[in-house]
């Protein structure tokens, strides 16, 4: 069930009038999309190759949420690039901020663990490339999550490969948090997000819920193109980013 308040109603209305025509909710359709990340499954599998490779690794996120699909040469791709461009486009920044804020606040009850526990802290996935200033997702998330402590996560001093599942690439500051909401803008292969989830678990966190603004799709693959062409339904902010079902 979505949480509601006057300000959430305003955000919801803005998302519908400004974004519904081109944004697309992530879907979990058995046999059609990856059962973990809503991406494109391998032929004959219910899971995509990246999620399959990591399956069973210790410390993976307990719950994964994705707000919208995004792909290049499309308005969704322009928003995801534009919001963090060296000179960010204000309209794109407002869209990402509103999507994330509505996703976090309206779908907060959906983050409960099996015993009902909600996040008691949050973190973001740091970039492994040096970039000046605060990560834009951190800046955005600080507004709706101001009442909760942020768990600092940083790139490790010595990095392994930048790709794949490598929890040792990330260092987590000592924390007493039990359930961390881990946020990032884009999931392409999920390697960084899942590595940070495992690094948090390694630091004693019991549960990690992730929320990504965008599930990135690569339309150069014919199977992905097929999924993109099937995304006909307008975006609904109340479709749950964790289940793909209206809350």
| Residues engaged in binding Zn ion (CB under 5 A) | 34, 36-37, 39, 48, 51, 107, 110, 240, 247
Q: Tell me the two tokens of residue 92.
A: 């794109």
Token pair 């902010």 is found at 237
At CB < 8 A and 24+ separation, what contacts does 54-57 make?
Answer: 54/165, 54/190, 54/194, 57/165, 57/194, 57/198
Q: Could you tell me the smallest distance in angstroms from the CB atom of residue 239 to Zn ion? A: 8
Nearer to Zn ion, 188 or 247 (CB): 247
Query: For Zn ion, which is the closer residue by CB, 81 or 108?
Result: 108
Residue closer to Zn ion (CB basis): 62 or 149: 62
Q: Are 207 and 178 in contact (CB under 8 A)?
A: yes
Instruction: Determine phi and psi for 211, rounding to 5 degrees.
Output: -140, 120
- C-beta of 176 vs 233, nearer to Zn ion: 233
**Which residues, including other chains, have CB under 8 Å from residue 38's CB and lie 6 or more apart?**
26, 27, 28, 66, 69, 215, 244
Nearest distance in Å: CB 34, Zn ion:
3
CB of 214 to Zn ion, least distance (A): 14
Cβ of residue 55: shortest distance to Zn ion, in angstroms?
A: 9
């Amino acid at each position: 069930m979505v949480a509601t308040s006057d300000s959430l109603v305003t955000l919801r209305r803005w998302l519908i009038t400004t974004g519904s025509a081109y944004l697309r909710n992530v879907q979990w359709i058995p046999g059609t999309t990856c059962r973990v990340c809503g991406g494109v499954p391998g032929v004959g599998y219910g899971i995509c190759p990246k999620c399959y490779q990591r399956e069973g690794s210790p410390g993976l996120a307990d719950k994964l949420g994705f707000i919208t699909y995004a792909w290049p040469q499309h308005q969704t791709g322009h928003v995801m690039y534009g919001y963090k461009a060296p000179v960010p486009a204000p309209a794109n920044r407002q869209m990402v901020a509103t999507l994330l804020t509505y996703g976090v606040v309206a779908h907060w009850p959906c983050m409960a663990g099996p015993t009902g526990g909600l996040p008691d802290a949050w973190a973001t996935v740091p970039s492994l490339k040096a970039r000046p200033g605060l990560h834009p997702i951190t800046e955005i998330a600080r507004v709706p999550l101001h009442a909760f402590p942020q768990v600092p996560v940083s790139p490790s001093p010595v990095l392994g490969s930048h790709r794949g599942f490598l929890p040792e690439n990330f260092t987590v500051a000592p924390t007493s948090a039990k359930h961390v909401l881990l946020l990032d803008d884009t999931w392409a292969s999920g390697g960084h997000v899942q590595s940070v989830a495992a690094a948090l678990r390694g630091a004693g966190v019991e549960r990690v819920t992730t929320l990504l603004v965008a599930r990135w799709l690569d339309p150069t693959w014919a199977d992905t193109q097929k999924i993109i062409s099937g995304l006909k339904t307008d975006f609904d902010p109340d479709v749950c980013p964790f289940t793909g079902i209206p809350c």
